[in-house]
Chains A and B, each alone.
Chain A
Amino acid sequence: MWGISLLVFREVLEAALIVTIVAAATRGVARRGWFIGGGIALGVLGAIIVARFAVAISNAVSGIGQELFNAGVLLAAVLMIGWHVVWMSSHGREMAHQMKAMGGAVQAGASSLTMLLAVVALAVLREGSEIVLFLTGMKVGGANGLVNGLALGIASGTAVGFALYFGLLRIPIRYFFTATNWMLVLLAAGLSSTAARYLVQANILPELGSQIWNSSWLLSNGSVVGKMLHILVGYEATPSGIQLVFYATVVILLVVGMRVFGHVAKPAAANTQSDAAPMIGVPAAH
């Protein structure tokens, strides 16, 4: 049971961290719970379907179907996170202002929310399909404690996600969406670097240097902390050159996108900030 719960924990953790960042980034948005819950439900359904067709996926495109599938899922998530981040750069301050003015609920753009629903679904799908395959194998092998192991793994992985979420809520609201936006940028960059790794594994992309550095003596990607940082900021103990290229490209594109589109909304944002500034920290000052 412990072995089972440990593997389930690791997979759930990866998905839970992504869901947590999305949950934080959509703080105060009306109907957010439905979008996140819906994303998780779709992801679970997708995971079962993907696991069911695992053999077909694996054999597709002369044996590189798995890599293409994973890279495709990851890059789709990168695109959707990118879209949301750039959209937020022109609406984020407005949202923070509204939240204070109206005591919570914000009407965010439906398309931006749908993007994040898809990001949640894809994260759950990717990690969930591994859990389904693993449990299927365990069942064939006649292992005991499947249900308990699954429950314990999901509970502990989710608990870490909640802990991170409540930690993030401590960020002052004025900086909150800036912080979550940066977290989304680094998440997207990390996912793109993992996508690059799959494409190298399938020999579609050149590696451009197999181990640009090796920091596994300090923090291995096999450890729980290493795994968490791998998801949160794309930490790699032994990155290849192409992974760094993908990572840097996504960061640069998103930062430029945020600048360009954030600029368009400057006049309104400047107003918001001057209105909002006195509201921050006032209770503490009294």
Chain B
Amino acid sequence: MNMPRKLVMRLVAVGALLAVAGLGQAADVPVFNLAIKDHRFTPTQLKVPAGVQFKVIVANQDPTPEEFESTDFNREKIVMPNSNITVFIGPLKAGTYKFFGDFHQETAQGTLLVE
């Protein structure tokens, strides 16, 4: 009976440590902002650092929903009208990565310049 309980306690401890580590990581990550207006991104190119995790806040100023998506850095998240979303990205290698608004692909196009 004692052994399993000990094991569970250890697992809980490890889990808690990981959670704390995760939270610590979240607090330090650099933040970048993107806006969507008239189904276009501003800025269309976002410069971000290579090799670190960062987060992008996408603010949709249109009255219609949009989906912030990238097949290059593998993210997708819906942004409701007049609201914000936060997406964690990276760490990425240096290079250019495309992203787009899935619901208005003709106009909503942008790139991440990772350097």
Interface residue ranges, A against B (CB under 8 Å): 3, 7, 54-55, 58-59, 63-64, 66-67, 130, 133-134, 136-138, 140-141, 197, 200-204, 206-207, 210-211, 216, 220-222, 226, 236-240
Q: Does B115 contact A (CB under 8 A)?
A: no
Find chain A residues with CB under 8 A from B55 CB.
203
Find chain B residues with CB under 8 A from A66 CB.
77-78, 85
- Tell me if B93 and A211 are in contact (CB < 8 A): yes
> When A7-B102, A137-B103, A200-B88 are in contact, do A210 and B67 touch as well, CB less than 8 Å?
no
Number of chain B residues close to chain A: CB under 8 A: 33
CB < 8 Å neighbour of A54 from B22, B53, B78: B78
A230 to chain B, nearest CB (A): 10
CB < 8 Å neighbour of A238 from B67, B73, B78, B81: B73
- Tell me if B77 and A197 are in contact (CB < 8 A): no
- Tell me if A203 and B22 are in contact (CB < 8 A): yes
A86 to chain B, nearest CB (A): 26
What's the Cα separation between A141 and B38 when bound, in Å? Answer: 10
Which chain B residue lies CB-closest to A238? Answer: B74
Find chain A residues with CB under 8 A from B73 CB.
210, 238
Find chain A residues with CB under 8 A from B83 CB.
55, 58-59
What's the Cα separation between A211 and B72 when bound, in Å? Answer: 10
**Given A54-B65, A58-B78, A141-B63; 20 other pairs, CB 8 A cutoff:** A7-B103, A55-B80, A66-B77, A133-B103, A134-B67, A134-B103, A137-B66, A138-B64, A140-B64, A201-B75, A201-B87, A202-B88, A203-B55, A206-B22, A210-B90, A216-B72, A221-B71, A222-B71, A237-B71, A239-B74
Interface residue ranges, B against A (CB under 8 Å): 22, 25-26, 53, 55, 63-67, 71-75, 77-78, 80-81, 83-88, 90-93, 102-103, 105-106
- Tell me if A140 and B63 are in contact (CB < 8 A): yes
- Tell me if B80 and A203 are in contact (CB < 8 A): no
Find chain A residues with CB under 8 A from B78 CB.
54, 58, 66, 130, 133
CB < 8 Å neighbour of B26 from A59, A203, A240: A203
Find chain B residues with CB under 8 A from A220 CB.
71
Find chain A residues with CB under 8 A from B105 CB.
3
A-B contacts, 30 of them at CB < 8 A, read: A3-B106, A54-B65, A55-B83, A59-B83, A63-B85, A64-B86, A66-B85, A130-B78, A134-B65, A134-B103, A137-B65, A137-B81, A138-B103, A140-B64, A141-B63, A201-B77, A202-B88, A203-B22, A203-B26, A203-B55, A206-B22, A207-B90, A210-B73, A210-B90, A216-B72, A220-B71, A221-B74, A226-B71, A236-B74, A238-B74
- Tell me if A203 and B88 are in contact (CB < 8 A): yes
Find chain B residues with CB under 8 A from A216 CB.
71-72
Find chain B residues with CB under 8 A from A237 CB.
71
Which chain A residue lies CB-closest to B87? Answer: A201
Question: Which interface residue of B26, B67, B103 has the most chain A CB atoms within 10 A?
Answer: B103
Find chain B residues with CB under 8 A from A134 CB.
65, 67, 103
- Tell me if A63 and B86 are in contact (CB < 8 A): yes
Find chain B residues with CB under 8 A from A136 CB.
64-65
- Tell me if A137 and B64 are in contact (CB < 8 A): yes
Find chain A residues with CB under 8 A from B53 CB.
203, 207
- Tell me if A58 and B87 are in contact (CB < 8 A): no
Which chain A residue lies CB-closest to B22? Answer: A203
- Tell me if B67 and A130 are in contact (CB < 8 A): yes
Find chain A residues with CB under 8 A from B90 CB.
207, 210
Find chain A residues with CB under 8 A from B91 CB.
207, 210
What's the Cα separation between A211 and B83 when bound, in Å? Answer: 30
B106 to chain A, nearest CB (A): 7
Which chain A residue lies CB-closest to B69? Answer: A222
